[in-house]
């Protein structure tokens, strides 16, 4: 996010540097971090996770790699619903796990997991399903019924779930976030959850994420390898995490940031759908990301169009397994976001004029777009 961090986080980092505590984490700081995470989960989601079941890794991708290495049968395929955060599509193959991509389908609340497709992949031998909840890049926040349907499929095939919930505090929907592992006792037993304060409090560079082991056997397995991973965790990251989770002023900062994000999301949806023919966008239920469907724009590379003709850098949907889409980060000062949307609308209008001149048609006129 292009926002300053909360004051308590800034002060916590200054305190560490002023005291010269820039070495490795010690058992006391890690224990304090575990307690902070456990208390936050209970307070925010009514999810009781023992501090001893909280493991530290540098970031969610490293945590995902650790799960693949230590908890998934060698060589077994991994199911990844697409679109998906890029590393979920590439990291498994580094560890010898083929990726089975299962495109999401249209559900009653927007893009949804294709449970039938996931079941077919599990039947074919996959043993891990990657769940991104809230979902990056679509911004979906899954309902209990959707998570329960996934649980049915996973349980039927003796598989397990890696649940990336790093965007959970960035809830724009007004509905409480529901951790997948907290849906039922059965989901707790087959899930390892990744989380962090990094996205919600804008401290990703401080390298301090967590794996939550809701199954006792998994927590015991982790104890055998935890020492290797905790070395990669920044002491500054632990200090920032505690300031984010424990300080009331940090909670106030998050509440104010969520209001900014809601306004920005509304602006993106309104302007994209009304000013950019051939492009559509749904409101984000969580995250600070907008997923723009440009498949009816008539442009082979929409990310390149916006970069070259609007000066706006968007993530190419190809990276997420969905060509023809782009991802827009709307965690910007409002004036900067509006300038970006102005430039994007102008680029679409120019492309529309060019297409109209060449074919005599308007973008979207023969593609059912409104």
- Residue 247: per-residue pLDDT: 98
pLDDT band (50, 70, 90) for residue 21: confident
Whether the link from the prior residue into 250 is cis, omega within 30° of 0, is no
Sheet order of strands, 325-329 included: 280-281, 289-293, 325-329, 315-316
Alpha helices for 107-234 (secondary structure H): 115-123, 144-156, 185-189, 216-223, 226-230
The predicted model gives 101-130 an average pLDDT of 97
- Residue 368: per-residue pLDDT: 39
Tally of CB atoms within 10 A around 10 = 13
- Residue 370: per-residue pLDDT: 28
Q: What angle do CA 53, 55, 56 make, to 5 degrees?
A: 155
pLDDT band (50, 70, 90) for residue 20: confident
Question: Which domains are delineated in the chain?
Answer: 7-246 (3.40.640.10), 251-359 (3.90.1150.10)
The predicted model gives 248-253 an average pLDDT of 98
Radius of gyration (Cα) for the chain, nearest Å? 21
Write the pLDDT tens digit of every residue in 183-210: 999 999 999 999 999 999 999 999 999 9
Q: Which two tokens stand for residue 283?
A: 């409101």
The predicted model gives 154-169 an average pLDDT of 98
Alpha-carbon gap, residue 212 to 140, rounded angstroms: 22
């Amino acid at each position: 996010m292009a926002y300053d961090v909360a004051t308590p986080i800034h002060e916590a980092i200054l305190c560490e540097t002023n005291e010269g505590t820039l070495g490795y984490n010690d058992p006391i700081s890690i224990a304090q971090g575990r307690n902070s995470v456990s208390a936050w989960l209970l307070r925010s989601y009514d999810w009781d996770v023992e501090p001893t079941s909280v493991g530290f890794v540098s970031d969610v991708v490293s945590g995902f790699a650790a799960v693949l290495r230590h908890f998934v049968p060698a060589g077994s395929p991994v199911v990844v619903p697409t679109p998906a955060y890029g590393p979920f599509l590439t990291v498994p193959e580094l560890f010898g796990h083929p990726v089975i991509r299962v495109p999401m389908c249209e559900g009653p609340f927007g893009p949804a997991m294709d449970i039938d497709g996931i079941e077919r992949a599990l039947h074919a031998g996959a043993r891990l399903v990657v769940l991104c909840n809230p979902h990056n890049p679509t911004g979906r926040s899954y309902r209990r019924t959707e998570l329960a349907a996934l649980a049915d499929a996973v349980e039927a095939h003796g598989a397990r779930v890696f649940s990336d919930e790093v965007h959970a505090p960035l809830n724009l929907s007004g509905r409480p976030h529901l951790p997948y592992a907290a849906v039922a006792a059965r989901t707790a037993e087959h899930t390892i959850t990744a989380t962090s304060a990094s996205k919600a409090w804008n401290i990703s560079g401080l390298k301090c994420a967590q794996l939550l082991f809701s199954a006792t056997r998994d927590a015991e397995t982790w104890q055998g390898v935890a020492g290797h991973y905790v070395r990669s965790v920044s002491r500054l990251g632990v200090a920032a995490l505690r300031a984010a989770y424990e300080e009331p002023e940090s909670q106030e900062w998050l509440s104010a940031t969520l209001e900014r994000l809601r306004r920005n999301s509304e602006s993106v949806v309104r302007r994209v759908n009304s000013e950019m023919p051939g492009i559509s966008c749904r409101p984000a239920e969580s995250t600070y990301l907008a997923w723009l469907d440009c498949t009816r724009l008539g442009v082979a590379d929409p990310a390149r169009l916006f970069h070259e003709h609007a000066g706006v850098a968007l993530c190419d949907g190809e990276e997420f397994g969905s060509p023809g889409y782009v991802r827009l980060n709307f965690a910007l000062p409002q004036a900067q976001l509006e300038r970006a949307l102005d430039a994007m609308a102008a680029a679409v209008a120019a492309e529309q004029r060019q297409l109209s001149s060449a074919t005599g048609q308007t973008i979207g006129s023969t593609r059912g777009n409104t």
